[in-house]
Structure 1
Amino acid sequence: MKKKLLLLIFLLPLAAMAQDKGIRFEHALSWKEVKAKAKKEGKFIFMDCFTTWCGPCKRMSSEVFSEPAIGEYFSEKFVSVKVQMDKTSIDDEAVKSWYDDAAAIAKEYSVRSYPTFLYFSPEGKLVHREEGSMSAGLFLEISARALKPATTTSPTR
């Protein structure tokens, strides 16, 4: 038992550090605050629209968003936010605080499949959208194109 406890104590900080290497999503900010932060910092906004039951969403979170190179790139270029689009009985207060905004975002931007990735200019204008799971390389390439709205088009995959 002591060995397991010591191993857990040793591994927890490593797990926390691993989480810091990927995309750092804003959890405590409202949609209005996310837009204000992006405008103030001159960064684009990346929004991951996901559901709790979506397998491809979970894959993106565990295999793509956690990549250190993607985390570094997104920290420099984006204010990032994850928006849970469904409601569950175990949602915490942070998720519940986004219910109205999630519904408005789903309606305004026709979010009907998951994951959907929305990219906004620093002024809060939608400049690109992408849907579905993809490799880390393709995700990075698409995200880089989203920073140049004049060159973005509908999904190309």
Structure 2
Amino acid sequence: MNEVTKKRPEFRNINIFNDVRTYRLPAAGVLSILHRVSGIIMFVLLPFLLWVFDMSLRTPETFTSVTGIFRDGLWILPGFLVKLGVLVLVWAFLHHLCAGVRHLFMDVNHHAVNKEFGRKSALASFAVSLALTVVFGAKIFGLY
């Protein structure tokens, strides 16, 4: 027999104990997972955000107490941890926004969807969201 046989690619399932530590997702995969994580963070912290917004708009005294939360802290959390929590929320919003704009752009421009564009746009989304988070973080922590 003179048949040409090609070796077929082998697709293995990932072993949770051995392969997960060494498996590397592409940048677009990491962006996608963090897009979901940032959405969950925003959803979980929504009651806190609504409470802070409500308190800041009631009276001048409650506005002063809300600004005091960032200076003095909240219950057992010191002010630094409150600011860090707000920074995490800011990162979640900015990351979710940048990744969402990327997804919308890819939905509109079907011809732009390929592996190279996915990698470059994921890295650009990371860069923009992290740069904006640094700017807002400097403002939150009073660096300027």
* TM-score, normalising length: structure 1: 0.28
More strand by share: 1
- Higher radius of gyration, 1 or 2: 2
* TM-score, normalising length: structure 2: 0.30
